[in-house]
Chains A and B, each alone.
Chain A
Amino acid sequence: MSNKTILVVDDSLTVRQQVSLALTPAGYQIVEACDGHEGLERMHANGGIAMVLCDLNMPRMNGLEFLETLKGDAAGPPVPVVILTTDGSSELIARAKRAGAKGWIVKPFQPDLLLASVRRIAGNPGS
């Protein structure tokens, strides 16, 4: 697997497709998960995830629970997580930051800004 694979964790198929359309033309590979539980499974199954884009409000396991579980998982180096959500609450942002998130993007997002954010965190594909 490429080391520029981005895991997108969002219960909305539409959002996952939007993210994929924004990133795949630039050379990133996308792996999808529809909630935090599935996100953790994808993380364990795909060792080369370069970055995670994660929604907050999801069934079964929400984004903060995913982030906090990931932080407690000692296996392997930390993978940067950016939260991609409709929520802009400073309280939740502070909690995500404490749990190790590297950034926060409020939906709806601009595709070029999303791509720039991924380049900044994960680096360019092939680099």
Chain B
Amino acid sequence: MAGISREDRLAEILAKSLSELLPELGVKAERLSELAAPPPQGEGTVAFTGFASADLRGSFTLVGPTALFDRLHPLPVGVTPRDLADWARELVNQAGGRFRSHLLDYGVSLALGVPQSAPGEQARPSSRLRSERPPIAFAIEDMVLEGWLELDMNPDFEIPEQPSAEQAALQAGSVVFF
């Protein structure tokens, strides 16, 4: 990731987090280099979480058709709208947790907020968020999941070009006993 901005470096770390997480939910997710057309309209779900460190703050938002959150739901049982709203929060929490763990490998330690979600017709991120940077988008079956990153960094915040050789965090699925 040499020669790219701090913002793009952080976005790529978030994209890596989603690229790892989505297949674990039993789907094939293809990263889209750009959104060729506006995402399908209709019933959608927005889920987001905030994060902060001493010199980096922001939020991470997942947006997609509600049917996609249903497709990603891990349980083989009937899913209600309440279940889907809960699952959307957990999904953004798991993606955020993985983002946080990867950032630890770069020496950046974040605190994550408690996630929130909202379903609704035409659910979209705010125009301010859409104006800042393009989303990290994945095609999953015939639907699109968008990840939107909002960043507010102190001018002297730096992130190394490469992670440390030594992993600073346990990876997903790890089990340790004390």
Contacts and interface: CB of A to CB of B under 8 A. Distances in A.
A14 B173 contact: no
A127 interface: no
B109 A108 contact: no
Interface residues of B, number: 35
Contacts of B90: 12, 14-15
Tell me the dominant secondary structure on chain B's binding face: mixed
A44 interface: no
Contact of B104 (A15, A85, A89, A102): A89
Interface residues of A, number: 34
Contacts of B98: 86
Contact of B75 (A21, A88, A89): A21
Contact of B178 (A11, A14, A101): A101
Interface string A86-103: 111111010001000111
Given A14-B90, A87-B101, A108-B94, A58 B175 contact: no
A26 interface: no
B24 interface: yes
A109 to B, nearest CB: 7
Interface in A46-60: 57-59
A85 B174 CA distance: 10
Contact of B172 (A11, A59, A106): A106
Given A57-B112, A106-B171, A14 B83 contact: yes
A66 interface: no
Contacts of B24: 108
B48 to A, nearest CB: 14
Interface in B19-36: 21, 24-25
Contact of A58 (B82, B114, B168, B177): B114
A71 interface: no
Given A88-B170, A88-B171, A103-B178, A108 B74 contact: yes
A69 interface: no
A14 B114 contact: no
Interface in B76-116: 77, 82-83, 86-87, 89-90, 93-94, 96-98, 100-101, 104, 109, 112, 114
B176 interface: yes
23 contacts: A12-B87, A12-B93, A13-B86, A57-B93, A57-B114, A59-B114, A86-B93, A86-B96, A88-B97, A88-B171, A89-B104, A89-B109, A90-B170, A101-B178, A104-B170, A105-B174, A106-B171, A106-B175, A107-B94, A108-B21, A108-B74, A117-B175, A120-B177
Interface of A: 11-15, 17-18, 21, 57-59, 85-91, 93, 97, 101-110, 113, 117, 120-121
